[in-house]
Structure 1
Amino acid sequence: MAPARNGAVLPILGFLICAAFIYFSFRDLWLYHKAKTELGFVKRNGTQFVVDGKALYVNGWNSYWFMDHAVNEHSRYRVSEMLEAGAKMGLTVCRTWAFNDGGYNALQISPGHFDERVFQALDHVIAEARKHDVRLLLSLVNNLQAYGGKSQYVKWAWQEGVGLSSSNDSFFFDPSIRKYFKNYLTALLTRKNSVTGIEYRNDPTIFAWELINEPRCSSDVSGDTLQVSPPFHFSLLNRFRLFLIQQNINTFLAESQEWIDEMTGFIKSIDDKHLLTVGLEGFYGPKSPKRLTVNPEQWPSELGTDFVRNSNSSNIDFASVHIYPDHWFHDQSFEDKLKFVVKWMQSHVEDGMKELKKPVLFTEFGLSNLNKDYEPSQRERFYRIIFDVVYKSAKRRKSGAGTLVWQLFMEGMEGFNDEFGIVPHEQDSMYRLMIEQSCRLGRVTGRLKEHKLKKLCSHRH
């Protein structure tokens, strides 16, 4: 009789194992597609972000290292840990790199050629963000050399013999480089996530795209090279080289349109669902003379960038600003830096209301722990002043749309730390301050009734 019982049990056991396998294999995919219909895209209504009919003010952070850590199995868990930690503080948006051009763990190995392993790492980041109810602001290229940046594009063009100049600033006017960048944009925006099955351009987990991190073009202080592409001050040799490359001077004339308009228009032609920003630091240029006195010193007006002018494109949905007074000033006291922060933020909020009529998101801010007079309590005061400006703007329905602290990371990641980095749980006062800001903004928008904030903020009324 025993063999007969075993014979009856084995098929049932096999069925259960098979059913369990199917369930666990397809559960996440079902949840993601269910989430796809439930999660709304963040949109813009005048000077406010809105989602599902309600205003959204951002309390978030930067963790630029997500994709890099997701490539390797031994470090991938930190992405989930950081997203979970952010969610527990009520943080709603994380800004991270969606680029790595050339070099170690490169997403784009060479122009138009991608490492599928690294793309799958970015897929994982987006999927994990959705699991933790965090949206992503994805930056598309770096003005700086870290992770390749515009200098890598220039190097590629120069190596292939089609580059107009070896200057990094040719990124903004070289037609070959523009094609490289557009090819990358196409591959990224139309990427089908290997985890969720959703194309990036259709995924509301992505809060917005950032065209370039901290664009500068110091070789042309007028700002025309960044704004206009290509400029008409090439040398005769470069004009001739461009003619040979294009084989038709009419192409040269036809492509003389604004670089920002061209690139943002190209993105919008592929993806009209997501918000888009330039990625500016917020400095005013020589064509905004009334605002030059707001700059920290003289040098920012010579960087070839301008907050108002560069943010005015019809394809730009919101403006970005960074806040680093201890790096921008020389020999200013901490108290003076705090005064500057308020003036700096209020000026840009006013620009958002009157000039741009768009939200203004402070996408990076930090206070260095390497300052000679640094004390840990200074960071709390610095953060609180920044949070207060945004909170007051939110209460008055003005354009100050939120903040993203630079940067948060987890224990055991000291190699990715810089002078601004914070491990949230290691600094209790900062941890509580960020939660408090999440709750304050939740009250303003009426989102305190949402499950996550209701539980987090119930004892903070």
Structure 2
Amino acid sequence: MLRFLRAFLFPFLLIWWTAFSNAALGPRIPNGFVTTHGRNFVLDDEQFAFIGANSYWLPLLTANEDVEATFQEMENADVKVLRTWGFNAINGSELAGALKSGLTYYQVWNSSEWVLNDGPQGLQRLDNVINTAGKHGIKVILTFTNNWVGYGGCELYINWITGASQTHDVFYSDPRIIASYQRYVKVLVERYKDSPNIFAWELMNEARCLGDLPGGPNCVPTSGLISRWYKQQADFVRSLDPFHMITTGGEGQFNWSKPKYYWYNGSFLSDYNYNGEAGENFDLDLTFDNIDFGTYHMYPQSWYTELDTPGSNFTVKQWGHNWISQHSNAIRQVEKPLVLEEFGVTGIANKTNIYPAWVDLALKTGHSIMPWQWGQLDLIEGNRVIKYTDEILDGASPNDGYAIYKNQTELWDIFKSAAKVQNARSWIME
């Protein structure tokens, strides 16, 4: 009788346990999607540590052969993740010029409602980038908008919806702007949410209280405005996509109760990167459930131009060393992965002197690393002005002084060696 009961009840118990387990653990991450396990990224049950690349200009290319060649070279360099812009917006007055020059654009603003361009000069170019990335085993971080004016950032929303007299911070609080931003986010998420080629969604590039427009009184160290905006938008994206990771795209500024100070020109100044004036609160922002990993950027050479002078006791290398350590310490409090998502100095000598120390420390503290920015040679477009001062010159991708090209052998080898270290860290998770 007992044997009969066991045989009779076992299938029902198995069904109940499976249902209970699935409910407790949530839906299974689809194959090919990257997720997190503690401080590690995981891809199909293996740790996924990586060296990545930034290329905002890839979707701006007009020749598919150039997109293919760039990804092939990234694959050869063991790049595993590309970060690029999911935004390119123009004013209606720029449309004729964009059509003539071949400029990629996704939104056209003529009123308080933008018009989507999902055609061959629009989102179809982004489709091609994401699909080609997948062919080469590369995942894509897609950024929804820009804190800065470049390529139609958040201030287009401000100018067209609330008027140019407003301050930058209204982007994070005006319900009409938030609704318009979310309308565009929904377009991108629904277009790619089933794609394993997406590594993560990124809410904004370098959110700050101020941008090219000045900041206002609603975004100060005590207001928490950007932190609330991060949480609101991350929760919105999660409602659209249960599987892909979400991150802020922030520079990683702190809001310490006892911020750092430094001497300059006879004054003891509170440090913008630590006192909350930027608007971020790295420690708090990491705690939100739908922020899956931390990002931060690092440009001490341009952030502290007044200190980076001959005879100063300020050193770019040491400041960066401290910044890496501080973010590594912060991430331990929440046990999430961490990405040094942008960093750079100008000058080849500076790069070859400073980058090895930064990369070594980042690797030792469990980071993934994405230098700014990828440089590509031998583009068939040859010479072409894109927009602003961005241009393809003699077949080389745009160079803002930070680009890293293959023919810069000593510099290139720093990241090739780092990629070998990261590749060796892949193992099956238990």
What is the TM-score normalised by the length of structure 1?
0.71
Q: Map of 1:289-438 to 2, 5 A cutoff? A: 289-290=257-258, 292=260, 298-300=271-273, 301=275, 302-329=277-304, 330-332=306-308, 336-354=315-333, 356-369=334-347, 376-394=348-366, 400=367, 402-411=368-377, 412=382, 413-414=392-393, 416-423=398-405, 425-438=406-419
Instruction: Select which of 265, 288, 294 maps to 2:235.
Output: 265
CA contact (8 A) 2:71 2:133 kept: yes
User: What are structure 1's unaligned runs of at least 5 residues?
Assistant: 1-36, 192-199, 229-257, 370-375, 395-399, 448-461
Q: In structure 1, what is the Cα distance between the partners aligned to 2:171 and 2:240?
A: 22
CA contact (8 A) 1:227 1:310 kept: no
**Distance change (3 Å), C-alpha of 1:223 and 1:102:** farther
Q: In structure 1, what is the Cα distance between the partners aligned to 2:259 and 2:52?
A: 28
Alpha-carbon shift at residue 291 of structure 1 (Å): 5.5
Q: 1:93 is aligned with what amino acid?
A: V
Alpha-carbon shift at residue 433 of structure 1 (Å): 1.8
Instruction: Select which of 53, 75, 89 maps to 1:61.
Output: 53
Alpha-carbon shift at residue 208 of structure 1 (Å): 0.5
Match of 2:221 in 1: 222
Alpha-carbon shift at residue 352 of structure 1 (Å): 0.2
Following TM superposition, the consecutive aligned residue runs of length 4 or more in structure 1 with deviations greater than 6 angstroms are: none
Q: 2:295 is aligned with what amino acid?
A: S
Secondary structure of the structure 2 residue equivalent to 1:390: helix
Q: Deviations over 1:125-172 (max 9, x none)?
A: 00100111111111110000001111100112036xxx9x62222110
Match of 1:149 in 2: 153
Q: 1:368 is aligned with what amino acid?
A: T
Q: In structure 1, what is the Cα distance between the partners aligned to 2:359 and 2:283?
A: 23
Secondary structure of the structure 2 residue equivalent to 1:93: strand
User: What are structure 2's unaligned runs of at least 5 residues?
Assistant: 1-28, 92-97, 99-103, 210-214, 263-268, 383-391
Match of 1:89 in 2: 77
Q: In structure 1, what is the Cα distance between the partners aligned to 2:66 and 2:57?
A: 10
Q: In structure 2, what is the Cα distance between the partners aligned to 1:38 and 1:284?
A: 35
Q: In structure 1, what is the Cα distance between the partners aligned to 2:419 and 2:179?
A: 41
Alpha-carbon shift at residue 223 of structure 1 (Å): 5.4
CA contact (8 A) 1:43 1:50 kept: yes
CA contact (8 A) 1:223 1:304 kept: no
* Mapped pair 1:100 → 2:66: no
Q: 1:154 is aligned with what amino acid?
A: I
* Mapped pair 1:47 → 2:39: yes
Q: In structure 2, what is the Cα distance between the partners aligned to 1:169 and 1:271?
A: 27
**Distance change (3 Å), C-alpha of 1:83 and 1:290:** farther
Query: How high is the sequence identity, in percent, across the aligned residues?
Result: 28
Alpha-carbon shift at residue 436 of structure 1 (Å): 0.8
Q: In structure 1, what is the Cα distance between the partners aligned to 2:284 and 2:223?
A: 10
Q: Deviations over 1:409-453 (max 9, x none)?
A: 222524721011122x22111222211111111223249xxxxxx
Q: In structure 2, what is the Cα distance between the partners aligned to 1:422 and 1:341?
A: 19
Match of 1:116 in 2: 118
Q: In structure 2, what is the Cα distance between the partners aligned to 1:102 and 1:343?
A: 39
**Distance change (3 Å), C-alpha of 1:365 and 1:106:** same
Q: In structure 2, what is the Cα distance between the partners aligned to 1:304 and 1:281?
A: 10
Q: In structure 1, what is the Cα distance between the partners aligned to 2:286 and 2:115?
A: 31
Q: 1:201 is aligned with what amino acid?
A: K
CA contact (8 A) 1:227 1:260 kept: yes
Alpha-carbon shift at residue 95 of structure 1 (Å): 0.5
CA contact (8 A) 1:211 1:279 kept: yes
CA contact (8 A) 2:89 2:106 kept: yes
Q: In structure 2, what is the Cα distance between the partners aligned to 1:293 and 1:308?
A: 19
Q: 1:347 is aligned with what amino acid?
A: Q
Match of 2:423 in 1: 442
CA contact (8 A) 1:78 1:410 kept: no
Q: In structure 2, what is the Cα distance between the partners aligned to 1:271 and 1:338?
A: 40
Q: 2:257 is aligned with what amino acid?
A: P
Which has the larger share of helix? 1
Q: 1:156 is aligned with what amino acid?
A: W
Q: 1:426 is aligned with what amino acid?
A: N
Q: Deviations over 1:240-264 (max 9, x none)?
A: xxxxxxxxxxxxxxxxxx3222111
Match of 1:175 in 2: 175
